[in-house]
Amino acid sequence: MTRLKKFVSLAMAAMISTAIFAGCSSDKNQVTINVFNWGEYIDEDILEDFTKETGIKVNYETFATNEEMYEKVKAGTTTYDLIVPSDYMLERMIKEDLVQDINFSNLPNFKNIDEKYKNQAHDPENKYSVPYMWGTIGIIYDKTKITDNIDSWNALWDSKYKNDIFMSDDMRNSIGISLKRLGYSLNSTNEDELNKATEELIKQRNDLNAVYIGDQVKDALRSGEKNIAVIYSGDAFVLKEEEPDRFEYVIPKEGTNLWFDVWAIPKTAKHKEEAEKFLNYLLDAEVNKKNVDYIGYATPNKATFEMLDEEVKNDKAAYPDEEILQKSEVYIDLGDFRKLYNDAWLKITSR
């Protein structure tokens, strides 16, 4: 009996040891993909769900502007498997050979993307990107504090809102708004037009004390730091859902930026196939709906859109009328003229 107990004990120890080492080996061989996305732009529960389903871990980092993301990818100090550039930035990264073709045979759920969101100007052959979300930029205001009927970008230069304005801490957004207000294209490459738009932003900042802010805008508005702000449509949708009697979102009558954010795979990605599995997972109608419900942005996923409540489908903050879209513009890459925008932005933001 003693020998039998000893034998059983040794056998069990061996089994436990094998299990431990097998577990270590499994952990060691587990693939981790590096994902670089905008702040507050995914339901992070989805990352955990994906890992549970596939065994692929997700190392998730965020950025605040396209330019920040671009500089990190170009520098190559961190190797990302997936990034989320906006339209014009993807166009630039394609030109600079920073992204690679996607193998769409690994993305059967790509069939869920509405045809009208495919083959856009920033990726005309749809080789390099998967549409993620789309939307507009507009003005949100606390209608319990501001009783005016705001319908123009001019409101952001109205002296009655001194010390009460948040502008977008994004070069293309704020310069684009100033250009659009003056009747110019937000993709202008006319130096005189850019100079006039720059002067107006400097004047606004000096005379009205406009404050530039990024992803923190929702919390700042919730707490009442200021009562009027430039904001992305999805963020506006979230705030309106939370407090419908408090917040109002408008797309100014002059028109605005119609933007598209996309998933892309950098040339330096180490786990392309696993990244494509993640993209296919996100394109699942149910998974995408969970994400849309969380972040509030408009989806290009037709299967998901059909699952949304009628109230959401008809909300003009998320899905604006065609009349507004016709007045709006998609950002394009500015090429060499980009340097003049960078110089203008330094003048605007440094004081």
**Using 50, 70 and 90 to split pLDDT, how confident is the model at 325?**
confident
| Sheet with strand 57-63: strands edge to edge | 57-63, 32-38, 82-83
The class of domain 30-133+260-314 in CATH terms is alpha beta
71 alpha-carbon distance from chain centroid: 17
Class of domain 135-258+324-349: alpha beta
Query: Could you tell me which of 69, 57, 128 has the C-alpha nearest to residue 97?
Result: 128
pLDDT class of 323 with cuts at 50, 70, 90: confident
CA atoms within 13 A on the CB side of 40: 14
Sign, Cα dihedral of 14, 17, 18, 19: positive
67 token code pair: 């330019």
Contact between residue 197 and residue 184 where contact means Cβ atoms under 8 Å apart: yes
Over residues 32-50, the mean pLDDT reads 97
| Cβ neighbours, 10 Å, residue 51 | 16
CB atoms within 10 A of CB 319: 19
Residue 62 CB neighbour total at 10 angstroms: 16
The model's confidence at residue 197, banded by pLDDT at 50, 70 and 90, is very high
Tokens, residue 304 = 């998901």
318 compared with 139, residue with greater pLDDT? 139
Predicted confidence at residue 10, as pLDDT, reads: 43
Over residues 229-258, the mean pLDDT reads 95
C-alpha torsion sign, points 95, 42, 308, 66: negative
Distance of alpha carbon 21 from alpha carbon 29, whole angstroms: 12
Residues 67 and 85: their CA atoms lie apart, in Å, by 9
Cα gap 9→13, rounded to integer Å: 6
Distances (CA, A) of 138 to 151, 206, 224, 306, 338: 10, 22, 18, 25, 23
Cβ pair 318, 298 in contact under 8 A = yes
Read off the pTM. 0.86
Instruction: Write the secondary structure of 75-127 as one string of H (helix), E (strand) and C (coil).
Output: HCCCCCCEECCEHHHHHHHHHCCCECCCCHHHCHHHHHECHHHCCCCCCCCCC
Q: Report pLDDT for 2.
A: 38
pLDDT of residue 15: 45
Cα separation, 105 vs 88, in Å, equals: 26
Q: What is the pLDDT of residues 96-138, one digit of tens each?
A: 999 999 999 999 999 999 999 999 999 999 999 999 999 999 9
pLDDT, mean of residues 210-233: 96
21, β-bridge pairs: none
- The encoded tokens of residue 43 equal 């339901």
**Dist. CA 113–CA 134, nearest whole Å:** 12
**Tens digits of per-residue pLDDT, 140-190?**
999 999 999 999 999 999 999 999 999 999 999 999 999 999 999 999 999
Other CB atoms closer than 10 Å to residue 41's CB: what's the count?
A: 20
**Per-domain boundaries in the chain:** 1-29, 30-133+260-314, 135-258+324-349
Q: 3-state class of 263 per DSSP?
A: strand
Question: Is-same-fold flag (30-133+260-314; 135-258+324-349)?
Answer: yes
At 136, give phi and psi (nearest 5°).
-130, 175
Report the pLDDT value the prediction gives residue 27, as an integer from 0 to 100.
58
